[in-house]
Amino acid sequence: QRKQEEQRRQEQRERAQSELSQIENVGMIDFACFTGMEQKGSGSFKLVYKATYNHPQAGATVVAILRVRGSGSHGTREEVLQEIRFFKELGRHDNLLDLRGITVEPASGDYCLVTEYAPQGSLDQVLNRTYEEDSTCSPLVLLEAAMQICSGMVHLGLHQVVHRDLASRNVLVFRWNPDDHQTGVHVKIADYGLAVMASRGYGGVQGATVSTAGSTARPIRWMAPESIARRQYTDKSDVWAFGVTMWEMWTYGQVPYGAITDDEMVGQRVGEGLRLPCPSVCPPGVYDVMQACWRERKIERPTFSELKGMLRQQYDQALLELHSGGREAAQVDQQLCVICMEGEAQWALVPCGHKCLCVACKERAASNRCPMCRVSPTGVVRIF
């Protein structure tokens, strides 16, 4: 019986390797290399596990294993291959989830995607935990996370990929310090299960429209009017979803249109012009960005590149307000460090020249982007 089981596993590996041969640079991993499997979540189509990957050369690494239900026999197998193609097409980006390899679960024969593991979980979980702890996040932390999501979406757009399911539940959190906007935030976009290529090949038209008439499961509360009514998806429908994701962030995980229980009614009301209200802790300028994402005509919505600039303006404004408030509270004439808001700012970053750091914070800040202008520094100098 043991010999038969080993033979079956070998046949599964060979079949998977054959089907994946068309996709270069995606390695097959023997399921026996994983230990300490712990289920972390489940959905209609996927089971998510945390596991230790024991690599023969690199040693032990904690990874996430996304097992796609029913992919071992038929049906969803092509969808798995499609998701792998997206990973390969997109390459590596600091704000997109990284694929480590593929494995096959022996008992079911299901395909599994092996990805990096996000220790903090998904963004909606982080937001809900913050709310339940009766805590808050610095406005700069929320803006930094929003800019990172936007950066990942810009990369998707460069490869003409329409995500179609952007939401806080599909953003994974690798670092989250609610008070540290400099080094305490790192998020990545995940779950390309609904994604589609807006245009095949490199000769396609940027912003092309994709119709998905056969689709059934739809995240209506995050969807643009044209997606709800005509099942049309573009980068501009992703922009709409990004605005809803921002709204989730500033409400600490509230359900969009939570007062309306029926999804189809939500779709109808959105088509009639209903929009999400301004969150109570949201600055007017940030809500203006959300509203720009929810313009009725998709051509009037900003691009993700434009959104990056709009968010950076809000970030700079929040930083100046924080700095100004700290000075008034301290009732001192000297300029305060923009990171700790306590020490005197005597150090400037090179080459931008912003004198904004105290002696205690200068070394840590020198390895990150300037908190004032977001330029990468080459060093720090003291200015008297």
Q: List, in sequence order, every residue forming a beta bridge with 42; answer none if it has no partner.
A: 47
346: closest CA among 333, 334, 329? Answer: 334
Judge whether 308 and 147 are in contact, CB under 8 Å. yes
Which residue of the set 110, 124, 165, 238 is catalytic? Answer: 165
Phi, psi torsion values for 280, nearest 5 degrees: -65, -30
Spatial separation of the C-alpha atoms in residues 290 and 235, rounded to whole Å: 16
Judge whether 98 and 104 are in contact, CB under 8 Å. no
250: closest CA among 295, 293, 283, 294? Answer: 283
Judge whether 241 and 156 are in contact, CB under 8 Å. no
Given its phi and psi angles, is residue 70 left (phi above 0), alpha (psi -120 to 50 degrees) or beta? left
Cβ-proximal residues to 103 (8 Å cutoff; 6+ apart), any chain: 28, 29, 30, 31, 33, 34, 65, 111, 112, 114
Per the listing, tokens 């809500």 go with 287
Structure tokens at 111: 């395909």
| Chain CA centroid to CA 138, Å | 19
* Residue 165 known to be catalytic: yes
Q: Which positions are annotated as active-site residues?
A: 165
